[in-house]
Amino acid sequence: MKIGIDLGGSHIGIGLVDENGNILEKKEKYFDNYNISEIEKTIEEFISEQVIQMSLAYRIEFIGIAIPGTVSENKIIKAVNLGIENYDLATQLKEVLHIDVKLKNDAKCAALAEQKYGELSQYDNSVFLCIGTGVGSAVFMDGKLLEPKGLPGFEISHTIIQKNGLLCNCGKRGCFETYASIKRFKEKLSKEFNIHSIDGEVIRDFIRKNENNPRLKYLLNNYIEDLSIGISNIINIFEPEAICIGGSFAEYEDILYEPLKQALLKGNLLFNKRNDIIIKYAKLKNDAGIIGATLI
Ligand SMILES: [Zn+2]
């Protein structure tokens, strides 16, 4: 039995997960004022409740936490959305709970879950992309998650796809993430067409109802073009058997899937030409972080 924790921008999801990746108990909490002490308090409360409920019948092997940011040697180096830098969350929690705590980047956790129980379980060589506000990524080769020894690496989202392009949160210009961010894409559509929301459902409805609008077509094509450049770079380096996309991007599967596939296959982007590309959409959705955190 393990505890998996997914830390989001303003939300924390905690689950008691069994050996087969099933979530037996789950607690979710949303915060207005999100800070590290609130996070620690919520985790401590959940663990105490579980330990009492289970009457210590199960031994909790460890607590795994999916962190939206950079993790190195089990410490948080930087998590902008949590307002944390150089913080040893694992040691802090272990001192209170007396259970081992392991941390890993959230996209890598979601990728591990998808590879073990989801859409990537059939493939040894694959790439996982989490496209939401930012872009997270993970690469599997021979069934193993690739990880450098020191810093986590695989910052595919911060590879530059446009010289002197848009300023990225990381301080560089022209990063893949600034062009692939689904949040940014929605904001652009909302501003351009005076839609008073960037809610996924509202934007999706608008796209469906206005598919022949030339300006909308242009913006969609533009987005797909940027996205396909970034993804083709990944394909050219790793030649994965399949790519799995998670995050809020996956909600637009019916709108973006085919154009993305066609842009990759028909454009002059791939070094090794292919007749087909397997693009999957994440199956485990919001539970991927919790389940993946127990696979660290
Ligand atoms: Zn960047």
Looking at the domain that runs over 124-277, which CATH code has it been given? 3.30.420.40
**163 alpha carbon to ligand 1 midpoint, in Å?**
12
Residue 56 has pLDDT above 60, yes or no: no
The most confident of 2-11, 74-83, 169-178, by mean pLDDT: 169-178
**The pLDDT value given to residue 29:** 86
What is the mean pLDDT of the segment spanning 30-55? Answer: 78
Task: Give the separation between CA 223 and CA 181, rounded to whole angstroms.
Answer: 9
Nearest alpha-carbon partner for 274 in 286, 266, 282? 266
- What would the two tokens of residue 225 be? 């073009």
**238 alpha carbon to ligand 1 midpoint, in Å?**
21
pTM listed for this prediction = 0.89
**The pLDDT value given to residue 36:** 82
Residue 55 has pLDDT above 60, yes or no: no
**280 alpha carbon to ligand 1 midpoint, in Å?**
25
Q: pLDDT-derived band of residue 226, with 50, 70 and 90 as boundaries?
A: very high
Residue 81 has pLDDT above 80, yes or no: no
Share of the chain above pLDDT 90, in %: 61
What is the mean pLDDT of the segment spanning 199-209? Answer: 90
Which has more confidence, 134 or 142? 142
Spans of all domains in the chain: 2-109+287-293, 124-277
Structural class in CATH, domain 2-109+287-293: alpha beta
What is the mean pLDDT of the segment spanning 84-108? Answer: 91
The most confident of 116-120, 168-172, 192-196, 252-256, by mean pLDDT: 116-120
What is the mean pLDDT of the segment spanning 230-243? Answer: 96
**The pLDDT value given to residue 52:** 67
The most confident of 100-114, 144-158, 186-200, by mean pLDDT: 100-114
Average pLDDT, the chain: 90
**170 alpha carbon to ligand 1 midpoint, in Å?**
4
Nearest alpha-carbon partner for 136 in 23, 9, 268, 43? 9
Which has more confidence, 52 or 281? 281
Question: One fold for both 2-109+287-293 and 124-277?
Answer: yes
**168 alpha carbon to ligand 1 midpoint, in Å?**
5
- What would the two tokens of residue 291 be? 């389940």
**148 alpha carbon to ligand 1 midpoint, in Å?**
19
**134 alpha carbon to ligand 1 midpoint, in Å?**
10
**178 alpha carbon to ligand 1 midpoint, in Å?**
7
Share of the chain above pLDDT 70, in %: 97
Task: Give the separation between CA 252 and CA 88, rounded to whole angstroms.
Answer: 37
**138 alpha carbon to ligand 1 midpoint, in Å?**
16
**232 alpha carbon to ligand 1 midpoint, in Å?**
18
**109 alpha carbon to ligand 1 midpoint, in Å?**
21
Q: pLDDT-derived band of residue 57, with 50, 70 and 90 as boundaries?
A: low
Q: Is 138 exposed, middle or buried (0-12, 13-18, 19+ CB in 10 A)?
A: buried
**24 alpha carbon to ligand 1 midpoint, in Å?**
38
**The pLDDT value given to residue 145:** 95
Ion ligand 1 contact residues with beta carbon within 5 A: 158, 168, 170, 172, 175
**167 alpha carbon to ligand 1 midpoint, in Å?**
8
Q: pLDDT-derived band of residue 53, with 50, 70 and 90 as boundaries?
A: low
**184 alpha carbon to ligand 1 midpoint, in Å?**
14
Task: Give the separation between CA 156 and CA 137, rounded to whole angstroms.
Answer: 7
Q: pLDDT-derived band of residue 58, with 50, 70 and 90 as boundaries?
A: low
Task: Give the separation between CA 16 and CA 62, rounded to whole angstroms.
Answer: 11
**The pLDDT value given to residue 274:** 87
Residue 80 has pLDDT above 80, yes or no: no
Residue 30 has pLDDT above 90, yes or no: no
Terminal C-alpha separation, the chain:
14
What is the mean pLDDT of the segment spanning 179-205? Answer: 90
